[in-house]
Amino acid sequence: MKALQCIELGGPEKLVVNEIEDPKIQPGHIIIDVKAASVNFPDVLMIQGLYQFQPPMPFIPGGESAGIVSEVADDVQNFKVGDKVFAMSGTGAFAEKILAHEASVMLIPESMNYDSAAALSMTYGTSLYALKQRAKLKAGETLLVLGAAGGVGLAAVELGKEMGAKVIAAASTQEKVDLAKKHGADEGFVYPSGKLDKDQQKELSKTIKELTNGLGANVVYDPVGDNYAEPCLRSTAWDGRYLVIGFAAGEIPKIPLNLALLKGCKIVGVFWGAWVGLDPDGNKENFKELFEMHADGKINPEVSDAFDLDNGAEAINHLASRKAKGKVIIKI
Ligand SMILES: NC(=O)c1ccc[n+]([C@@H]2O[C@H](COP(=O)([O-])OP(=O)(O)OC[C@H]3O[C@@H](n4cnc5c(N)ncnc54)[C@H](OP(=O)(O)O)[C@@H]3O)[C@@H](O)[C@H]2O)c1
């Protein structure tokens, strides 16, 4: 089969497309003929050796895919050849075939095509868990989303709106803010795209306060981190929840803890992948909700760019260089 392989850690330019052996079936697993796979920021980190876990070299990047089951291990009861499925495998998705553990696979509902199925799981799975289980977002509260036109950001905008919040979208260009508004954000503003200086940080806090009638945001959804984090934490409302989603802007911020004391707010960690392992039933319940929302047209994964497998490295580069709006997928 054809696969995009990481044979040396580094940027997307180090990735190579190789012809390698098809995967062999293993107990508890199925093999999927991949139709679409989507790019997520963890792929960018993993090929550089910067993610929370590191697969042995060489490896095939790609955390999520959708396709048709072509082989099933004897001990697997819940899937059969020909089923349309998506897999949250962590790695291995940027290839013509993937060996996936049955626990990481779900049937694609009727309402969804392969592209949407490949684009939905990590972003909407993360954002629903973040807003529902971690922030306990309530109708009528204000939700500020940073990186609001990125993968997890745009999912948070749609889900926040669906949960009855007033959603404020923040992003680095007007085009990105407009996309978030198209997906339901009530308000939006553009923040600077480089490293923020002290004045820009103050300006960011001021803008958030102005858009929340001086009260601050009840929930901040932050996949950007770096020095965007502190001014946003400074702009939370009393009893606010600041969600630590990721650090796409680079640095892991160090926060003065007196801010949490003064604002009576919570700094809440979100690690969706770990929660899926700890509470698989809770995750299934969340996905049932996501499928219903999709069937009712309430959520709609935005696929902005599609690449073929030969140009898979370019797909990852597109996301890494901040050009992606919504999801970037690789069609196979
Ligand atoms: N906690 C979890 O369970 C979990 C799960 C999935 C992903 N994540 C994390 O969430 C973050 C976003 O993932 P994603 O897949 O949604 O990525 P994405 O689609 O690339 O979105 C990230 C957004 O971050 C912003 N950004 C700011 N500085 C950036 C920079 N220097 N380079 C690239 N983007 C920058 C961009 O928006 P602007 O240009 O508008 O600033 C971009 O749209 C990542 O850190 C990822 O590791 C966490």
Ligand 1 centre to CA of 28 (Å) is 33
Ligand 1 centroid – CA 40 distance (Å): 8
252 assigned to some structural domain: yes
| Distance in Å, CA 320 to ligand 1 centroid | 9
pLDDT at 52 > cutoff 90: no
Mean pLDDT of the region 280-309: 96
- For residue 249, report the distance from its CA to the centre of ligand 1, in Å: 7
Termini Cα distance of the chain: 11
In a domain, 116, yes or no: no
Same domain, 78 and 146: no
Same domain, 92 and 217: no
User: What is the C-alpha to C-alpha distance for residues 155 and 163, in angstroms, rounded to an integer?
Assistant: 12
Assess whether 55 and 142 both reside in one domain: no
Enclosing domain of residue 36: 2-108+302-331
Which residue owns the Cα nearest ligand 1 atom 33?
322
pLDDT exceeds cutoff 90 at 184? yes
51/72 Cα distance (integer angstroms): 30
For 290-314, what is the mean pLDDT? Answer: 96
Q: How much distance in Å is there from the Cα of 124 to the middle of ligand 1? A: 14
**Per-residue confidence (pLDDT) for residue 110, from 0 to 100:** 87
Q: For ligand 1, pick from 38, 39, 40, 41 the residue to mutate: most ligand atoms within 8 Å of CB.
A: 41
* pLDDT tens track for 4-38: 999 999 999 999 999 999 999 999 999 999 999 99
Beta bridge partners of 105: 87
- The protein residue whose alpha carbon is closest to atom 8 in ligand 1 is 246
In a domain, 280, yes or no: no
Distances 5 to 62, 94, 96, 112 between C-alpha atoms, Å = 10, 8, 12, 29
Q: Within its chain, how far is the Cα of 276 from the centroid?
A: 14
Instruction: Identify the CATH number of the domain in which residue 45 sits.
Output: 3.90.180.10
Residues 187, 139: one domain?
yes
Percent of the chain with pLDDT over 70: 100
Shared domain check, 133 and 103: no
The model carries a pTM of 0.96
Q: Which of 225, 253, 273 delimits the end of a domain? A: 273
**Ligand 1 centroid, distance to 234 Cα (angstroms):** 21
User: Are β-strands 236-244 and 217-222 bridged in parallel, bridged antiparallel, or unpaired?
Assistant: parallel
pLDDT mean over 176-198: 96
Name the residue with the closest Cα to ligand 1, atom 27: 249
Considering the domain architecture, whether residues 31 and 103 belong to the same structural domain is answered as: yes
| Rounded Cα distance, 242 and 220, in Å | 5
In contact, 188 and 169? CB cutoff 8 Å: yes
Task: Tell me: do 248 and 306 sit in the same domain.
Answer: no
Q: Closest Cα to atom 29, ligand 1: which residue?
A: 249
Q: Which atom of ligand 1 is closest in space to residue 129's alpha carbon?
A: 3
Pocket test for ligand 1, best of 173, 245, 270, 319 (most atoms within 8 A of CB): 245
Same domain, 73 and 160: no
**Which pLDDT band, with edges at 50, 70 and 90, does 173 fall under?**
very high
Substitution site in 127, 221, 271, 322 for ligand 1 pocket (most atoms within 8 Å of beta carbon)? 322
> Are residue 17 and residue 71 in the same domain, yes or no?
yes
Within 6 Å (CB) of ligand 1, which residues are found?
40-42, 122-123, 126, 147, 149-153, 171-172, 176, 193, 223-224, 245-250, 270-273, 319, 322, 324
Identify whether 281 is part of a domain. no
Domain assignment present for 282: no
Residues 98 and 239 in one domain: no
Q: Residue 258 phi/psi, 5° resolution?
A: -60, -25
Domain co-membership, 135 together with 168: yes
Asked if 98 and 134 sit in the same domain, the reply is: no
Say if 245 falls within a structural domain: yes
256-272 residue pLDDT tens: 999 999 999 999 999 99
Q: Which atom of ligand 1 is nearest to the CA of 247?
A: 45
DSSP-H helix ranges across 23-65: 41-46
pLDDT value of position 74: 98
Domain annotation covers residue 195: yes
Is 291 part of any domain? no
> Quick count: other Cβ atoms within 10 Å of Cβ 220?
30
- How many domains are contained in the chain? 2
